[in-house]
Amino acid sequence: MNVLMVCLGNICRSPLAEGILKNKVNGFKIKVDSAGTAGYHIGNPPDPRSVKVAFDHGIDISTQRCRKFSVKDFDRFDLIYAMDKSNYGNIISLARNQSDASKVKLLLNEIDAKDREVPDPYYDSNDGFETVFQMIDQACEIIATKIKN
Ligand code: 4NP
């Protein structure tokens, strides 16, 4: 099972989602990665506020590097989780067929099918990052439980 987490910049939300899910499925044969739909920060480490909130919860995401989502990711991954509806739309617009499109889901729909979004914390205060961490953590707990069973 290969899982890709996607947001806009791949420096705030999806690096957290990658780190959180990896932490939960440690020891299981699953690949977890993240990417951004935009290429503003390619090659950069995650935002220091994401690094800090992850570290505060015992997870090191500092060695991750930003990359852009590619059409090839549809071949490499079984599940592609978008953090918000804009990311979802951008990924779906690159899908080549129904099989590609069926892999794409909104992350928080793992918690409840209400099409809720993980808000973009980039322009937010530090507090926003803890809220985002908790939302992603709740969804990843459900994903990890499904993968392990
Ligand atoms: P992310 O947040 O999509 O959660 O990584 C953002 C990071 C950077 C930008 C936008 C959102 N940006 O415009 O540079």
Average pLDDT value for residue range 40-65 = 98
CA of 128 to the centre of ligand 1 (A): 13
pTM: 0.98
Q: Which residues contact 48 (CB under 8 A, 6 or more apart)?
A: none
Predicted local confidence at residue 124, as pLDDT? 83
CA of 4 to the centre of ligand 1 (A): 17
55-105: per-residue pLDDT in tens?
A: 999 999 999 999 999 999 999 999 999 999 999 999 999 999 999 999 999
Average pLDDT value for residue range 10-28 = 97
The set of protein residues with a Cβ atom below 6 angstroms from ligand 1 is 7-13, 36, 40, 120, 122
Instruction: Give all domains of the chain, ordered by start, each with its CATH number.
Output: 2-148 (3.40.50.2300)
Pocket test for ligand 1, best of 61, 86, 107, 120 (most atoms within 8 A of CB): 120
Q: Tell me the two tokens of residue 1.
A: 């099972």
Average pLDDT value for residue range 14-43 = 97
- Closest of 43, 36, 44 to residue 18, by C-alpha: 36
